[in-house]
Structure 1
Amino acid sequence: MTSWQVRDEAKVKLKNPILVEGLPGIGNVGKVAVDFLIESTKAKKLATFFSYTLPHAVFVNEKNLVELPTIDAYYTRISGRDIVFLIGDVQPGDEVSCYEFCEAVLKFSKNMGCKEIITLGGIGLQAPPKTPRIYVTGTNPATIKKYMIEGVEKKIYGVVGPIIGVTGILAGLAEKEGIEAVVLLAETFGHPLYLGVKGARALILLLDKKLKLGVKIENLDKEIKELEDETLQRTRDVTQVQETSKLSKLKKIKEEVNYIG
């Protein structure tokens, strides 16, 4: 039994939908990219995902009010097709919760009639790249081929290690549900508090070209900068909560070991 609840925020029938995931991760490239696309396409909230395994903390927003960490789905219709964006403040906190969350997302996607998903993530480098490259992998060669444009690398084997978290697991579980999946990874600096704006920009331009999103390039850099401060602050807050939780668990284990031994 899954620990995740899905609450519908809108009753709509979607047309040939495709899901694009952008949760926090390396450089937050996926989150920054999807945040921007939600704003620029004026996407509307479709559903909210909730679990008691989310971090035990709230954010204080610019109105000085508390907000629980959320993971939401938004939708927008472009050229007769619906694009569903999966965005959130956090990722599931442990391995079991991650698998359960991805299964909940895939069930949600299947019920919508979604036959393809795109997950976004970063490849952490030792220094910020001047011109981030994008690598692509996925569930089958035909799906990968659709995203092969100039500047996109498909020879990813040996370049990156395991793709950790929702970006990897969502794609990995998709095939058994009959859903095609592609993973787009942008190079970025590997520091946990670094925001990979250049990597996010590269992902946005690729998605704009392939999905015909109509992104206004002249607004891209300005709007990404506006998203940057809020994203960075929330990343710091969540990181602090998760590290505190880990330390508490380690302390408890140590006390139990000392007591037994």
Structure 2
Amino acid sequence: MTFEIKYLEKPDLNKPIAIAGLPGIGLIGKVAVEYLIEELDAEKFLELGSDKFPGWAIRENGLVRGLKVYFHHVNIDGFDRDIVLITADAQASSSEGQYELSEKIIDILEDEGVDTVITMAAFLDSEGNKSPVVGAATNKETAKKIEKNGVGLLNNGRIVGMNGLLVKLGTDKKMKGFCLLGTTKDRDKDPQASKEVLSKFSNIYKLDLDLSSFDEKVPDLPKFKPPKIKMPSVSGGESETSYIR
């Protein structure tokens, strides 16, 4: 098996955008997307299995299952576009696997008519010099849009892992997109950073998301913490001290 796609339903989506939050530093993106799934009562419509994941399985209610990517869809009252919400049990364990799994996700999104890919992740800022949420976009127009809504633009550095690759690879399919990165000093779970990312996303699309129950629900999001996986190393200059994922 390289990929196993299981459709639970085939939704009829209206001008959908996609939001992905995969496990990474502080679980910032994953917690943010898991909250949206829970709060908005999004419906799961697809599961994607792959042998590109790390070599471990999940114990759940006495059973063992493999790792997956999960696709949900939802429509928010007052917003004229459907939203596809994507999360996963883990990221792929190698650089090659990250590219292949990201490309498969983008292929699925293309089939569903998605034209905008948004990822939520973390920016490790040990000195606390950055805005609560920073980001980068695929074009100047989108960059100006997110900056206008309180997102600090990153001028350099790299977004490591699939949360960066999804936005980049989307451009190969003529999709635009951007990354929203919650700044954190902690590699462990940082709920406040997840909440800041959701707030900025809400501002960008004028959604008026209700975050009043976030602090109450976040202890159960996600339902487990994956083991630490050593990511593929990347070379770079000594001046690049911040880590983005």
**How far, CA to CA, are the matches of 2:4 and 2:63 in structure 1?**
24
CA-CA distance at 1:150 after TM superposition = 4.6
**How far, CA to CA, are the matches of 1:131 and 1:153 in structure 2?**
8
Flag the structure with higher helix content: 1
CA RMSD in angstroms, aligned pairs only: 2.4
Name 1:217's counterpart in structure 2: 211
Superposition map of 1:91-110 within 5 A: 91-110=91-110
Question: Is 1:140 aligned to 2:134, yes or no?
Answer: no
**How far, CA to CA, are the matches of 1:100 and 1:123 in structure 2?**
24
Q: Note if contact 2:50-2:68 (Cα within 8 Å) is conserved in structure 1.
A: no
Name 1:184's counterpart in structure 2: 180
TM-score by length of 1: 0.80
CA-CA distance at 1:212 after TM superposition = 4.7
**How far, CA to CA, are the matches of 1:188 and 1:110 in structure 2?**
32
Q: Note if contact 2:149-2:204 (Cα within 8 Å) is conserved in structure 1.
A: no
CA distances 1:113-171 after superposition (whole Å, capped 9, x unpaired): 111010111111337x69961112111011222222453211x124xx32111111111
CA distances 1:27-50 after superposition (whole Å, capped 9, x unpaired): 110000000000000001121111
**How far, CA to CA, are the matches of 1:222 and 1:179 in structure 2?**
35
Superposition map of 1:58-207 within 5 A: 58-61=57-60, 63-78=61-76, 79-126=79-126, 133-154=132-153, 156-158=154-156, 161-191=157-187, 194-207=188-201
CA-CA distance at 1:70 after TM superposition = 1.7
**How far, CA to CA, are the matches of 2:15 and 2:121 in structure 1?**
24
Name 1:256's counterpart in structure 2: none
Letter in 2 for 1:100: E
CA distances 1:185-237 after superposition (whole Å, capped 9, x unpaired): 1101243xx10111100011122233355532221111112326x34xx22xx
CA-CA distance at 1:53 after TM superposition = 2.3
Q: Note if contact 1:22-1:87 (Cα within 8 Å) is conserved in structure 2.
A: yes
Letter in 2 for 1:220: F
CA-CA distance at 1:172 after TM superposition = 1.4
Percentage of matched positions with identical amino acids: 25
Q: Note if contact 1:132-1:198 (Cα within 8 Å) is conserved in structure 2.
A: no
Letter in 1 for 2:155: Y
List gaps (5 residues or longer) in structure 2: 233-245
Letter in 1 for 2:20: E
Residue 146 of structure 2 aligns to a residue in which SS? coil
TM-score by length of 2: 0.85
Name 1:50's counterpart in structure 2: 49
User: Is the alpha carbon distance of 1:76 and 1:213 closer, same or farther for their aligned partners in structure 2, counting shifts above 3 Å?
Assistant: farther
**How far, CA to CA, are the matches of 2:3 and 2:205 in structure 1?**
30
Letter in 1 for 2:66: L
Residue 83 of structure 2 aligns to a residue in which SS? strand
**How far, CA to CA, are the matches of 1:67 and 1:212 in structure 2?**
39
Q: Note if contact 1:91-1:166 (Cα within 8 Å) is conserved in structure 2.
A: yes
Letter in 2 for 1:86: I
Letter in 1 for 2:62: N
Letter in 1 for 2:195: R
Letter in 2 for 1:168: G
List gaps (5 residues or longer) in structure 1: 247-261
Q: Note if contact 1:121-1:167 (Cα within 8 Å) is conserved in structure 2.
A: yes
Q: Note if contact 1:4-1:100 (Cα within 8 Å) is conserved in structure 2.
A: no
Residue 178 of structure 2 aligns to a residue in which SS? strand
**How far, CA to CA, are the matches of 1:126 and 1:80 in structure 2?**
39
